[in-house]
Amino acid sequence: GQSLEQPSEVTAVEGAIVQINCTYQTSGFYGLSWYQQHDGGAPTFLSYNALDGLEETGRFSSFLSRSDSYGYLLLQELQMKDSASYFCAVNTGFQKLVFGTGTRLLVSP
């Protein structure tokens, strides 16, 4: 089977840094994507890691360790608008993405 595990919920305050972890077990692996989804909205692409290491995109960074089947999304200088659900997704190479269970991030003032 295929599974991607994430914490169900993370809370933090404005201005803080938060890390959302993703561990995966899939039949194929080409890379790890991250998507953001606000309540009532559509998932939107944030970042992608095909190789080990850190990818930085503004306040957001994403990390991958293929040997550990593990990745994380790091959000810095948190803002209220970052309150949303975050999904990791594996590119399995079988022409589809498999999405994780999702992490709900709550940012408080």
Partner 1 sequence: DTAVSQTPKYLVTQMGNDKSIKCEQNLGHDTMYWYKQDSKKFLKIMFSYNNKELIINETVPNRFSPKSPDKAHLNLHINSLELGDSAVYFCASSQEPTSYEQYFGPGTRLTVT
Contact with partner 1 (CB under 8 A) among 26, 82, 85, 88: 85
CB 29 within 8 A of CB 46: no
The conformational region for residue 12 under phi > 0 = left, psi -120 to 50 = alpha, else beta, is beta
Residues 54-83 interacting with partner 1 (rule: CB under 8 A): none
Contact with partner 1 (CB under 8 A) among 3, 11, 27, 44: 44
Q: Measured between alpha carbons, how far is 44 from 34 in angstroms, rounded to an integer?
A: 9
Binding flag, residue 45, partner 1 (CB under 8 A): yes
List contacts with partner 1 (CB under 8 A): 30-31, 33, 37, 41-45, 48, 50, 85, 87, 89, 91, 93, 95-99, 101-102
